[in-house]
Chains A and B, each alone.
Chain A
Amino acid sequence: MPLGPPSSAIHIQPAVSPHLQNAPRTPTSITIHPVALFSILDHYLRRKDDQDRVIGTLLGTRTDTHVEVRTSFAVLHSETSEQVAVDMDYHRAMYELHHKVNPKEVIVGWYSTGSNLNTYSALIQNFYSQETAPHQAIHVSLDTGVEPGQPAGVKGYVSSPVGVFPKPENCVFVPVPVELRFRDSERSGVDLLTSTALSSSSTSSQPLSDLTILESSIQNVISMIDRVLTYVRAVLAGEAKGDAAIGRYLMDTLGASTDDLEKGGFNGRLQDTLMISYLANLVRAQAEVSSRLALVTAS
């Protein structure tokens, strides 16, 4: 699931030769968790009026070629036309605090909103590379889409020194593909937020019962089946040209036989479910009665 505006770049990594095995390899892909992105957006919302862009630290885990960004936190920084300053003490303190809660996460890089990469970015990248040594620091730039002409998206970079004499303020940012990934348990949270965002007042009330969610899912499936049905009818009536691949796929999917749901198995399962439902209601009634009895014996 790529983020950001599409690019036609192809990412090539040279095959590693045996004697270079020990050197840390540059990361070839970055995955981001939604929490980190939302934190960055929140920080951008809260910035002071004179700050054009905000920066912060990314925490996560890394494997050989792959970096996974799990959390992010904001860092104080000020940027004028002459100089840039980053509050290192603040960064260390916040990293310590986060480390207490999640010992597995380490500093993997930094983020900034706004997509322009200038000398200051190079300097900050140099500073973060020192923090993540011997591995390379990644830089994620998040476009909030607030400025016209800039589509909203996330881009990731790794840096490499450029120039005859490598100086800290010169480096080349090499783009690295970024993907959004979430665990199954975070999945329903993202679904909830997406549906909240799409509703008219961007609020949704909780708690929704399981049945409501089930109902909306089933409605979704019904509308998908309707769409497929109109397409198939159009093809049969000769109005639309049918695609053989789609037809075969539909036949395989929808023709799956339900013979293994034969009467015996289904009824047994049904009876089990009904029994458990009855048991649950019984337990609840018992608990309620017992708590009331405790009140009665006193008087």
Chain B
Amino acid sequence: MLPRKRAGEGEVVEGESENNNNSNNIKDIAVTSPIKKHRFSAAAAADLTANNNTVAIGNNSSNHSSGSVLEPTIMAPGDANHNDIDEDLHSRQLAVYGRETMRLLFASNILISGMNGLGAEIAKNLILAGVKSVTLHDEGVVELWDLSSNFVFSENDVGKNRALASVQKLQELNNAVVISTLTTKLTKQQLSHFQAVVFTDISLEKAFEFDDYCHNHRPPISFIKTEVRGLFGSVFCDFGPEFTVFDVDGEDPHTGIIASISNDNPALVSCVDDERLEFQDGDLVVFSEVHGMTELNDGKPRKIKSARPYSFTLEEDTTNFGTYFKGGIVTQVKQPKVLNFKPLREALKDPGDFLLSDFSKFDHPPILHIAFQALDKFVSELGRFPVAGSEEDAQKLTSIAANVNECLGEGKIEDINPKLLRHFSFGSRAVLNPMAAMFGGIVGQEVVKACSGKFHPLFQFFYFDSVESLPAEPLDPSDFKPLNSRYDAQISVFGSKLQKKLEDSKVFIVGSGALGCEFLKNVALMGVSCGSQGKLTITDDDVIEKSNLSRQFLFRDWNIGQAKSTVAASAAASINPQLKIEALQNRVGPETENVFNDTFWENLTVVINALDNVNARLYVDQRCLYFQKPLLESGTLGAKCNTQMVIPHLTENYGASRDPPEKQAPMCTVHSFPHNIDHCLTWARSEFEGLLEKTPAEVNAYLSNPVEYAASMRDAGDAQAKDNLERILECLDREKCETFQDCVAWARLRFEDYFVNRVKQLIYTFPEDAATSTGAPFWSAPKRFPHPLQFSSTDPSHLHFIMAASILRAETFGIAVPDQVKNPKMLAEAIENVIVPDFQPKEGVKINTDEKDTSLSTASVNDEAMINELFYKLELCKNNLPSGFRLKPIQFEKDDDTNYHMDLIAALANMRARNYSIPEVDKLKAKFIAGRIIPAIATSTAMATGLVCLELYKVLDGAHKVEDYRNTFANLALPLFSMAEPVPPKVMKHREMSWTVWDRWILRDNPTLRELIQWLKDKGLNAYSISYGSCLLFNSMFPKHKERLDKKVVDVAREVAKAELPPYRSHLDVVVACEDDEDNDIDIPQISIYYR
């Protein structure tokens, strides 16, 4: 219940440690940490102090219990002892990893050696994730060359030690992480301080030595070697001889609701056909709540086979078991997996299967395995990297590679692909930002796996290349020459012509959240929109919240409450001062087409989506389709990410293919027959809204203007209107609260209504033995038979409900909340004073043929008369109210841990779950489900943006074919990378014409509807319906529409569709549905009608 702060924020920590006596707190870490070579935090902490003071005061006033630990406070079940994790900050990440993994992360010390662009990306991702400490190692100094890829360096840092130059900006990302530096040669003994060590720039020889040490250390130290060389990258993992993975995929265990089990060997288990089962052969499952065949409830995991959508067989002889009667839930048991990593020395010779990312390049990984070894030899022999554009160096590298290949003996490969090696050689000195972003995400995730056992590690080599990103036209060696600019590394790969194109491009980034921040960093480093002709527009209508800070890395604590786009834009400009950026706060949608007008869209080179919802994506897609602009689309979900390239005329558009919409639980299930906690939470949210938002808002609507309100309700005159009025009356009359005791009473009666009376009514209507018309039991799976609760003031969950409900009720009535409410004893006393009437079930539904006629006529006869009576009563109430009396509607806000919203929702859901014997959840889990929190981590986000920026090179080059582009789906948890060519647009044909979704037809000279129809008729197309937006201009079914035929299309649009056509526009676009002469529907392009 106590407000939790980010650990490490100056004095707030002290207050917290008094309260919680929490040994896992930053102060202790700082003191006990073995590695403190260079600890930077003084300046950042000083910056924060002013802010923290105000925050701390605010907290004290709302929470008087701070400082006194004698009085117990009411905690939601399962909420105790979580104060070590800052749930406000890490909620999105907690939704991916869970608490256990986060705790393991908080205890992990990591070494990152090699602070080039890749090192900086890995460090960023781990610091955001919140490991215990990160030690940065580098012996070299910052060069101008590094500025192509390293976002923490500025031109002033040139000449400074790389590790030292990185520490300040990395520390700002998360003060809870101890960041230190090592600037001298590493010895292997130093590695024993760490749980995981990462090397981004290490010779093979040194790597052997360090990996041997790590592999044989007890306990083993996880060793990762990774490199990005131009458009090529590699990762190698060795997590020791025996590494246990606790969760191989990050998915929740699958479950099923049982319908029947046979007495057989093997036994056949059938499940209800509500949801398809997701079990696979070989999965282990446990059973619970089985009636009849109770032997299965023993908790023993059993193996399944022949898994089908709604059934499976069980490796178990149930012939002599009890006969299945009813009920039962089957749940998958996730099995840990042990991996035996080979040390680098062995693995290099016998690499096993490479993790493949692109089937069209299945032959590349073995070649790259050799190429990276050859490069290591080249560098150790010549003391330098191959020079970009040097055929001589490329040949030398190729011949070294050929030698390496020869030595492989049996594992030798047929063709080492000299062309690929040439590209490899040319770019090998450069660290490119998009590659660093992508590999920073991958390697960051591997470190998390190494520290926690969460997700399946990369086993053991991964090679990747993006040679398709190179310009379509071959380059002249002179193009690669350095210009003594910060982009030299990038120029050495792509040439200065493409660099110029990047700098002069006009880019629109839609959204400045997690993806948007990463994109801004990437484009700033790449120099996109940094030239005199360049322009970057970013827009986002959101403000910064605390939960953003764990991955939206351009934001700091002190930015909370500020506009995302503005803060992100100035942060990006400080990465590269040349960036020509404008930040807007507009949501992109039909309502802002005056801001994002035709000229705006027409001037763009490319659009990058950084959105979090499908509707906005679809809108931007439609705009890009209309203005023929490339759209680079991406999204993440937990450890998963996907990217999609939408290129005019080359690919289909984003909206052309869609995922099925999210499944929602049926209404009746949520109303009366929940069978899982999601159903209970959906119900809880809707009750929360009804009680605290809608009803108070209705009350205010009535009080603000009783006459108008009455008129509209009388107009409606239906049952819904009556219901509304009853609620208002309840609120102002019978249940009106004047003191906090009233609120407690109200809460207590709500409890009785929700969890006692309603359940009693339901089981009165449908007794446990009720049967349907066919004689089948009514209460059969998936329905669960409910039991009413018995209120007890000693049950902490019951008390928790009363507390949260009464506090929020008091808030709507503007009643002060006394501190005693948090004291269970005093709250219990207050509840004792509430008189709870006994419940009598309504008998209206009992079959009583004589009564029924009258009951109908009296019950629903006269909504109208009832409404009048209600208004009369309301008038009386209103006159007793102080003038200007209003309620305060409460809008659900999931991300404030101190507002009691989630407390009430979790309590509502859990009490309901208890009614139905559904397992309860803690407040955090409830928040994830009820708040629809989308799990998100920095690693997959960074990787998605890296992948997109590799495509951005292709788009801005402008000469690539569709086969050069790649869409990607990746899941870092497995890990899985799946890249594929985008799907081309569907080609429609009619007579000699053909077109795609990218085409538009044009009709000039301000035609009438009749002329438009005739124009189509001449093409053999019979138009039957013409619409503008969602409005019909003409439809052959409506005789009246024929009168419009001789009107100009534009006039009909103005009259009927109320089209507002800005003065600068000279056309409008209509959608025409038509058939050919054989009555086949023909999907023709939009038609632009020019009226001036």
Say whether A and B bind each other.
no
B residues contacting A by CB (< 8 A) are none
